[in-house]
Structure 1
């Protein structure tokens, strides 16, 4: 019996009363619900126990992925969820255990780990089999689902059958989400799902980064296959079988009328007559999906125009020489106090500041304008343009996943109680319903793995475990994007390319929508237009030395998102991957910017992947350069966007280091292409301090490493690593003001207690140290502004805040992650405050700021600044600090921090308390090896 699954949703209007069809009156709803639910009552087919002789983890592999495996829902299930809050089977059964770790980790033991995680052993014991299925009646593949989580365990006797089953299972669990994202990747979301502001924002964000034509998508497939020999041919065969499985499920669910209910709510299917179609997937859809994933998680760098604007502001205030030094001190390109993943002192130089920069093309002051993307708006699109809601929605929806990323804690067996390495790691892909990732186990010829994959790209496990090894990744963010100033000729749409006036390519996507059940937005339309050059899409217009230019953005993965498929294929192949060396060799095939981690029973390993372009001598990657042959990437081919890339030996890598930590921090010494803010205080320090302490003590266990992760997940970075020095300044003299003294007392007590944002008890929805947390949340933006703006001046201060926001606390919805996104403390001014305050205190600072800012460098004046802003912050009410939003009422501190599963389908879930940890997470300790 095909599995009837549930689905979830990002159209907020779905929950608006009166948005359902007129025919859905009470009696009709009862009849419809009864009819659509009837298949769900059939009993699961019994199945024999799956063997797991190829599992070397010894029952010590665990994982978790909230909210649940099941991401499809029939129309009836969506309506019941909206009316009564009922949840389809396995739609949120991993959310509770995930949330409970926040209050349960202090009492954790090895035997309790799977209270908060799932057993990730291969196979399903016979007593735990919930269903067995032969998709489309095939005899060469079986899908078994377990009772606890509903995760599909796919076993094939042929390679084709195995991949067919993977596609079928993916569609069972995420068909609507996959359909949404193949349209996002093509810039066609509004035409597909309606013109809600969030939909407009999403398709605009991705279309600007990857404005691909159908020919571009097909070319990626052709090039990847042609350039990778037998592996490329196998990848194409796997993808074809995978697509066949997806389409077989589409046909079965359509004829059986158990397809996702969102197709009805968006007007693609008729609930009564079953009229309408669900489009089959094709090979280029996979590339469109991959382009979204690559843009979200695997592309670092860019921002050169904003860098130039802040440099110009610094030079305007201080003069060219001093202004450049001030800018460099805030940029922290290669900060000596930054926490490192490879901490053995080995140097991996990349993108260093050249002694004599060449080819810089800084804009004339006041000349920069962003290239318009959207044109010819009509109807509700015109209204969205006026209000700006599309951009706002995008910032608070999927784009939050781009910023809030993953972490890893890996300890060598030399320092564990068992002598075997231990890893606690996973990606932070944001919190969505359904989740962007899905769990699966795949066993077949040349494939043996269990773990998580992005929906629609799950022909291989992308993060997870093999027979005797596990792997994971964090986003590394090294710079693979450069901005070129192309000189215009003839008009605004021709440019000089190697001395010839060349026409830009115009790529357009015209979208129109009508009101749907799910979205009350009125009819509307617009056209997205991108002008492309050999140097990438146009992002800005400006003048440089009076010459008109277009600033373009060129990334090494542009037109090459699908190339990484070979690396994932190798990670799943037990005949290829035998140890840390072959692991590193596998991930070298992945051109996305990731930090990769590995653990088996004997070894650990790390490798930083990505196609790092070899830049021309003298080019500074931080700023725009002229689009001329002398400043291009070495051996760059403009037609194919290929170039010379740094060799694997130049990428940060390591085998069997004592321990590894990563929370999107600096990879290694002299690897200087990181985002802003990788200085003396970074959230990676929260892991570094805890793991180093465990390693120094020795005898690390799975329990102690999970506790270290969970404790860091509740820590307020500002309170743990910056607040003690702030209080040291304030307490340099007696505090006589009663308001300030009371605030200092509360803050000090919180620091002494551990500086965590934790509930008083499980489910209380009230913080211990609530007053101290409120005071710091209110104080931080006030103190940063008062500390730095007087010295920098308002123009430069504003320019720097455009490079890096002041704050990213859990409740700081203005930060790059957005509200209710979980991930926090990645971007902020904590390093600047830390270095400045230590300098004012007279303490040693490596890589300090160019000057002292707090109080002009005078301790007494700095103290007055801090006390004045602290008094102001202490006087603010909870309602002022936490003003409320679409999720929370004003003044609700716990709710302001809470994590919401952002709806990408029709099923909604409740909020959980804040934790700063990966979305998908593994806990592994292998006991043996092949």
Structure 2
């Protein structure tokens, strides 16, 4: 580190110090807004455990702890959902704010808030009071998080609506079907000659499914012909989608549960590692919650939530453990609205996006039953588009987060899930009584079978949405004879099964590997499940590497560098270990094949928007007929050989001409940084951020999805394993970076080494022992302010 960098680091550290000192983790505070009081214990990782004898004070303490650790992140999350980022960040986020305003999530959040039962609304009010109590204390001591100081603004009071909005926006983030529809519409308009090649889903016919038998009554409508798709989206009607529809990288996750019949202990085990983009701090926030019994039975839970959301999204209590994955069920349909004021426009809202350093932007949001209108036409345009989404229906999933961790068993837990609207999740759980289950939770449209693959006219889309499926008709698999359930974003139901829940799925490679590990392991242990979360076997390589090697064997490369790459692939066992060169060769080779078949034909912009590029390219590799439809005249051997030569040259430019010195993890690294450190490189001295060499890939259980350059952009910051024993659960977890968002905190990055090494920490459900924890007591203050 240079002298200048040392000086800068020291100066920035001093600037950040007051915000850290304003966050007490021990002692006693008297605060207005408490009824009888609460405590916050922090373990050796700084993870808070809020405890009280009443719900109001428990959620007050939860809000206080979250604000202590993640206040600026909470503020950014609510600003994103409200469309108010540009007040702070300026023009760079203007389009994000316009999109958020047009989605009108504040409108549906208000309607959802009105549906909450009094106790759940009271919990949100108490949580907000706890957040505001922490903020008042920080401000009085000049100790707001340093981001507020650097950006020169102050947080507004927290409200229950903020928490509801954060969940609604997360639901929209996870509803990825719009990407498929927009890509197909663009393909029809920009490169229609490739519709026969790329317009159909390519999930492998022999790929696994999540729920293997028909469950529930199903949707009663008989199958009918799919509605014909409208042609292209005009460029002016998809401006607001820029940046959202950036091709592959759907938000995924792994979760599995095995019954006691398959485990060494005889007790069920659950494992979950939900995938999100890697950020610093992480989107996940570890927390323990305990009600000590004065107002009812004692309840304890541990898991993760999202900063700003009270309760737990995934985790465990004494009786059960649950995990989540994105279902990727189709919950969105684009439609073309006829000219004029709209077929059923029933509401509109005018708003203004304040843009720091620029003039404000006026935005009109409008819509009708089930849909919102997208951008109005440019001058002279007569076409407008609407988006149907199940999230536009009010729902109370925020209450579910408060109830799941207190569920007394599988029946009560299942009933709690009835309140879910968005995001539509697959929830996997294991119970102390031996139950293992996977079921879909959320609002799923009851649509005409075969519809929803591409934009259609409003009347046909509206007609195809027959309300929503009943909760009991959603896919579910409980206590299957095989003794396990797996959810990894793969196909939900067998082909042709009712209800119709969509046609676009993530490649099944992770699911196949998880099932292989389960079925080939005798006496499964929790330690084994934790190790599987770091498994780097590349499922895509297992499917297509034999085809690639057979093609290369027909016409072996003669150039020394390409020949060396051929030998690396031939000797490779398909595991993406970071110290090897072969995974890098495989990665670059498939990139070059993809460039030839997709990027060079569609253009970089349209190719980048293809959501299922992996499955499309793998289909081309294994199907001569698909290559013929593409217009590929060269033999596969020539295509693969040429791509390998280009891949070898690419790697040589990055890592030198000696393949013996190449390493996958010199390219394949997690380089997540705090948002301000990415925007202003000089701030890296303050916010730091570990660059972590990584194995795995986008097709291994240890999901580490790279961008085109090879930088890992998505994975599982949080990993969790639970064994449900009669005397109480055994829990383990780890979170990349750590519990705190304060760069001066020792818990800002303290869990990263364990996460990188694939290690988990044991977590006692009773919370940290008194000798290893720091206790902060929150006592009621009668009158006055905090």
Q: Which category describes the TM-score, using the shorter chain as reference length? A: 0.7 to 0.9
What is the root-mean-square deviation of aligned Cα atoms in Å? 4.1
Contact 1:598 1:605 (C-alpha < 8 Å) held by counterparts: yes
Is contact 1:676-1:803 (8 Å) kept?
A: no
Report the 3-state secondary structure (helix = DSSP H, G, I; strand = E; otherwise coil) of the residue aligned with 1:687: helix
Q: Which of 605, 608, 628 matches 2:437? A: 605
Residues 279, 369 of structure 1: CA spacing in aligned structure 2 closer, same or farther, 3 A cutoff?
A: closer
Q: How far is the alpha carbon of 1:880 from its aligned partner? A: 5.2
- Kept in 1, the 8 Å contact 2:25–2:42? The answer is no
How far apart are 1:667 and its partner, in Å? Answer: 2.0
Query: Which residue does 1:794 correspond to in 2?
Result: 601
Q: CA deviation at 1:633?
A: 5.2
Could you tell me how far apart the structure 2 residues matched to 1:440 and 1:728 are? 51
TM-score normalised to structure 2 length: 0.76
Alpha-carbon distance, 1:218 to partner: 2.7
Alignment of 1:40-55 (within 5 A): 44-45=26-27
- The counterpart of 1:341, out of the listed 206, 210, 213, is 210
**Structure 1 residues 206 and 367, CA gap change in structure 2 (3 angstroms):** closer
* Cα pair distance change 1:182/1:568, threshold 3 Å: same
Work out whether residues 899 and 912 of structure 1, in 8 Å CA contact, stay in contact via their aligned partners in 2: yes
Q: TM-score, normalised by structure 1?
A: 0.65
1:140/1:162 contact within 8 Å kept:
no
Q: Tell me the distance in 2 between the aligned counterparts of 1:162 and 1:187.
A: 30
- Say whether 1:723 aligns with 2:545: yes
SS of equivalent residue, structure 2 residue 509: coil
Q: Distance in 1 between matches of 2:325 and 2:620?
A: 30
- Is 1:195 equivalent to 2:113 in the alignment? no
1:626 corresponds to 2:460: no
Query: In the alignment, is the contact (CA less than 8 A) between 2:439 and 2:474 conserved in 1?
Result: no
Structure 2 residue corresponding to 1:484, chosen from 328, 335, 340: 335
Change (3 A) 1:869 1:929: same
Cα distance change of structure 1 residues 33 and 742 upon mapping to structure 2, 3 Å threshold:
closer
Correspondence 1:537 to 2:355: no
Distance 1:650 1:461 in 2: 23
Q: After the TM superposition, which residues 368-387 of structure 1 pair with which residues of structure 2 at under 5 Å, given as runs?
A: 369-372=236-239
Deviations 1:865-915 (A, max 9, x none): 222222232233444599xxxxxxxx9963542113331466332122225
Between the aligned partners of 2:188 and 2:219, the Cα distance in structure 1 is 21
Aligned in 2, Cα 1:587/1:717: closer, same or farther, shift over 3 Å?
same
1:744 equivalent in structure 2: 566
Deviation string, structure 1 residues 419-469 (Cα, Å, up to 9, x no partner): 1111221312332222222111111256531111111112x1111111121
Q: Distance in 1 between matches of 2:216 and 2:545?
A: 32
1:219 matched residue in structure 2: 111
1:468 paired to 2:319? yes
Residues of 1 paired with 2:179 and 2:41: CA distance? 43
Unaligned runs of at least 5 residues, structure 1: 1-15, 46-131, 226-231, 269-276, 375-390, 514-522, 636-642, 759-767, 806-826, 841-847, 883-890
Q: Distance in 1 between matches of 2:70 and 2:278?
A: 15
- Aligned-pair CA distance for 1:339: 2.3
Shift, 1:471, TM fit: 0.6
Task: Report the Cα offset of residue 350 of structure 1.
Answer: 7.5
The alpha carbon displacement at 1:783 in A equals: 2.0
Match of 2:577 among 757, 761, 785: 757
Distance 1:735 1:25 in 2: 55
1:302 and 1:853, CA in 2 relative to 1: closer, same or farther beyond 3 A?
A: closer
Residue aligned with 1:781, SS: helix
Q: Describe the superposition over 1:706-732 as per-residue Cα deviations: whole angstroms up to 9, x where unpaired.
A: 222211xx3444434322221022224
- Per the alignment, residue 908 of structure 1 pairs with 688
The CA distance in 1 between the partners of 2:556 and 2:176, in whole Å, is 50
The answer to whether the 8 Å contact 1:299/1:557 transfers is no
How far apart are the structure 1 equivalents of 2:104 and 2:591? 37
Please state how far the C-alpha of 1:609 moved relative to its aligned partner.
1.6
1:68-217 equivalences under 5 Å are 138=34, 140-191=36-87, 193-195=88-90, 197=92, 199-200=93-94, 202-204=96-98, 206-208=100-102, 210-212=103-105, 216-217=108-109
Match of 1:668 in 2: 493
Do the aligned partners of residues 744 and 38 (structure 1) sit closer, same or farther apart at CA in structure 2, a change above 3 Å counting?
Answer: closer
Query: Residue 18 and residue 557 in structure 1: after superposition, are their counterparts in 2 closer, same or farther (change >3 A)?
Result: farther
* SS of alignment partner, residue 705 of structure 1: helix
How far does residue 220 in structure 1 lie from its aligned partner after superposition?
A: 2.5
Aligned residues: 680
Counterpart selection for 2:355 from 512, 517, 520: 512
CA contact 1:302–1:479 (8 Å) conserved in 2? no
Structure 2, unaligned runs of 5 or more? 657-661, 677-685, 697-702, 704-714, 729-786
Secondary structure, counterpart of 2:446 in structure 1: coil
Deviation larger for 138-147 or 661-670? 138-147
Residue 147 of structure 1, CA deviation:
4.0
User: Shift of residue 739 of structure 1?
Assistant: 4.3
Aligned residue for 2:771? none
Q: Distance in 2 between matches of 1:590 and 1:600?
A: 20
The answer to whether the 8 Å contact 2:671/2:690 transfers is yes
Q: Shift of residue 342 of structure 1? A: 2.5
Give the structure 2 partner of residue 66 of structure 1: none
Match of residue 569, structure 1, among 398, 402, 407: 402
Query: Residues of 1 paired with 2:718 and 2:230: CA distance?
Result: 42
Q: Does the C-alpha gap of structure 1 residues 719 and 871 become closer, same or farther in structure 2, counting only changes over 3 Å?
A: same
